[in-house]
Structure 1
Amino acid sequence: MVTSSPAGTRRVAIVDGRSTGRHLPAALARHGIECVHIHSPHPDVHMPYDPDGYVDHVRHDGDVAATATALREHGVVAVLPGTESGVELADRLSAELGTPGNGMSRPSARRNKYDMVQALRDAGLDHAATIVSADADEIVAWAEATAGYPVVVKPVSSSSTDNVVACSTPEQIRAAHARILGGTDRHGMVNEVVLAQEFLDGDEFYVNSVSRGGRHHTVEIWRYHKRRVPGGDFIYDYDEPLAPDDPVARRLEFYAHRVLDALEIRNGAGHTEIMLTARGPVLVECGARTGGGQIPEIITRCFGVNQVDLLALSVADPDAFDRLPTTAYRLLKHPRFVALINPRERGVVPSREQLAPVRELPSYAHTVMAHPAGHVLPRTVDVATWPGYVYLIADDPAETLADYERLRRIEHEHLYDNRPF
């Protein structure tokens, strides 16, 4: 049953408020804004979700006009995606309601990685050579004639590291293609084609931003560190930030903002992943939503701002948001975001007591576990099989490095063994 908002109370709709999006209701509530939750047909069920903090829940059944009518009855003034699965629906609902949203000339470019590359090409931005095909032999022929080996093969609307495989031979391409085609992605959608891209060699970064009216503000810039596991898959290892005055950060920021323009991300959050290659910055992919895995208070402690709070500010107080500098963050501390990795074929989530050696690390700041203690874990091969993650924070980056190495030793020796030590 729809409950109308009290006089003077504003409401915002959040589509699939999972992952970092689960922090949005509290951030908006600090500005006196209530939230309505919209369940899309294909949420990423691997991402954490908190049903509290919403005045109502609306289940979208495919009828945009009907869902928009329900939101009008709530007096919704903005629609925000909580995570990747909510991006397209949030844009369509914003367009239907006439609330601030993103450009709709090619909305699929904000989810479909092939359309994304075409948008960059049309904007004159450097981009990865890309092909989509349901025929593995066509991709093999393209790799050998155009891209060269290795090539990266993945679902066309993938997120995180869902079935992202670096292939160095025709046999590996065919095996990855067979695994992806006809299967489902992290959102339960059937993969009808497979995407392949040239392998971008270089250092990988991400730029988190918040935009309003086409003006972009950078909230943080981090460098990814990944490792390859048996089978060719890449998994996240750890991330470290760049200072805003770093020349590399300035170069990445300039390119990222041009990507946002090309994809018509004009209002809301952006998470832009970029490879800094020998020829310059090249887009890996861009999400029109907040970056994943954020703990807002931790980010603010390190940078003075965080993406969730600035997104809320852009809706609640546009004038105050517009007064922010283009580069909105400072590097106050040296954090390291560490993805937990179970190296064995089987393990279990450790108890609080078993995590004590991790909490005792001098730079330890915060832990998030993906499942409760005792939950059976597979070997970590992607984001969905992370046991969780840890934030380390120190004034000296050498301290976070030393603690990272201790943490990896703890993992390797016993962390997921479910036995006393």
Structure 2
Amino acid sequence: MGRLLLPALGRHGLECVHVQSPHPDVHMARLPFPDGFVANVRHHGDVAATATALRELGVDWVLSSGESGVELADRLAAELGTPGNGMSRPTSRRNKYDMVLALRDAGVPHAATIVSSDADEIVKWAEETAGYPVVLKPVASSATDNVVACSSAEQVRAVHEKIMNSNDRHDKPNTVVLAQEFLDGDEYFVNTVSRDGEHHTVEIWRYYKTRLPGGNIIYDYNEPLAPDDPDAKALESYTHQVLDALEVRNWASHTEIMMTARGPVLVECAARFGGGQVPDIIDRCLGTNQVDLIALAVADPEAFHRLPTTAYKLLRRLRYVHLVNADEHGVAPSDEAMAAIRALPSYAHAVTMHPAGNPLPRTVDVATQPGYVILISEDPEQLRADYRKIRELERDHLYAARPQEPAS
């Protein structure tokens, strides 16, 4: 998402320096480095030294463009004395257990949670406190990495072992596993932009997810919620409480919430952009977008503060459809294979995550999803019909390898 922030800030006449954090997302590292930065600073672990380099370059703001930069951006902003987030418990914006503790201490509703390097301790907690299913995940990863809903002690032990024997998306070893009560309800995400502790809601979407037979949870599709929807009001109010509890005072955040029978309960909050955005389309359908609002908060805080708390409107109906490869094998779709999707009446945009013809694994998380398609239509039935057609194309041939031409 930081690639999109660069031109947005440029439209306000602001130049950007790139700070490379030491533990980037391993799935994003393959992306080509964008042009347009006036300097590149590689961080080697010494915050004071990196801050000195930024100070010499005249840096006035430090922004995190992704999960791997959240903690470093906060530490650099504190060192430089530039606008940033509260530093009384900075790990609460990355470590999901510290996040829950921050909510607990602030009196904000939260999920029952435990962390442990001992699978039997989690089994005991599940059987005596939380009940099955329980959700296991790494304590500080992202993007549904090893997020599994476990329905038995045996599954808890197997998933716990898998997580403990793997690195997270930032190539850091998992030394503990986080377990949470299974939150039953509808899941949403709320994207916000903050400046000086004032929060503005940019969009609220409902997640539709699929729980696979092995317990992995993957994205199916997302749809935005109208800002005057009663659930939207409750979600917005709760999100702003979460941001205050986590001391998110400046820049972007992406908050995932389950609307349960007892009200909104946090799944997790990330102090950075929401992923997978296409600002032009979001702007057309919601009247604003998180990237441009971040740039406004930096360049013109007075104009930013004049915005209404709920900064978006539902101008057009849209649906983000996450592509899913259900087979053990497959290949990334060719331009020819995607033509059938582009021909759908509501088609607006598509992103594929791998070059055409590259091998695809079975989809079990965000990293293994082949991409996504954006549909826009004023007719809800058209959106549903085109969604069903995408799933039909996937089952039929979308990820099939092209047959070999016969030898001449």
For the aligned pair, the TM-score class normalised by the smaller chain equals over 0.9
Q: Unpaired runs of 5+ in structure 1?
A: 1-19
Between the aligned partners of 1:153 and 1:140, the Cα distance in structure 2 is 11
Residue 372 (structure 1) shift = 1.1
- Aligned pair 1:28/2:9, yes or no? yes
Residue 179 (structure 1) shift = 0.3
- Write 1 or 2 for the structure with the bigger share of strand: 1
- Aligned pair 1:39/2:20, yes or no? yes
Q: For 1:115-147, what per-residue CA distance to the aligned partner results, in whole angstroms no more than 9, with x for missing partners?
A: 000000001011000000000000001111111
Matching residue's letter, 1:76: V
CA contact (8 A) 2:205 2:223 kept: yes
Q: For 1:45-68, what per-residue CA distance to the aligned partner results, in whole angstroms no more than 9, with x for missing partners?
A: 313454212111111100101111
Aligned-partner SS, 1:237: strand
1:363 maps to which residue?
346
Matching residue's letter, 2:5: L
Equivalences for 1:285-364 in 2 at 5 Å?
285-364=268-347
Segments ≥4 residues shifted beyond 4 Å: none
Between the aligned partners of 1:135 and 1:87, the Cα distance in structure 2 is 28
Between the aligned partners of 1:314 and 1:397, the Cα distance in structure 2 is 34
Aligned-partner SS, 2:236: helix
Residue 89 (structure 1) shift = 0.3
Q: For 1:276-296, what per-residue CA distance to the aligned partner results, in whole angstroms no more than 9, with x for missing partners?
A: 000010000000001000011
CA contact (8 A) 1:334 1:394 kept: yes
Residue 396 (structure 1) shift = 2.0
Aligned-partner SS, 2:187: strand
CA contact (8 A) 1:22 1:49 kept: no
Q: For 1:269-316, what per-residue CA distance to the aligned partner results, in whole angstroms no more than 9, with x for missing partners?
A: 010100000001000000000100001111101101000000010001
Q: For 1:151-171, what per-residue CA distance to the aligned partner results, in whole angstroms no more than 9, with x for missing partners?
A: 000100021100001011100
Q: Aligned match of 2:92 in 109, 125, 135?
A: 109
CA contact (8 A) 2:91 2:98 kept: yes
CA contact (8 A) 2:26 2:171 kept: no
Aligned-partner SS, 1:79: coil
1:267 maps to which residue?
250
Q: Aligned match of 1:384 in 345, 367, 377?
A: 367
Q: Aligned match of 2:171 in 157, 181, 188?
A: 188
Residue 392 (structure 1) shift = 0.5
Between the aligned partners of 1:71 and 1:396, the Cα distance in structure 2 is 50
Matching residue's letter, 1:149: Y
Aligned-partner SS, 1:274: strand
Between the aligned partners of 1:162 and 1:124, the Cα distance in structure 2 is 29
Matching residue's letter, 1:184: N
Aligned-partner SS, 1:101: coil
Q: Aligned match of 1:172 in 150, 155, 162?
A: 155
Between the aligned partners of 1:317 and 1:276, the Cα distance in structure 2 is 35
Between the aligned partners of 1:49 and 1:398, the Cα distance in structure 2 is 39
Between the aligned partners of 1:248 and 1:272, the Cα distance in structure 2 is 15
CA contact (8 A) 1:24 1:312 kept: yes
1:284 maps to which residue?
267
Matching residue's letter, 2:159: A
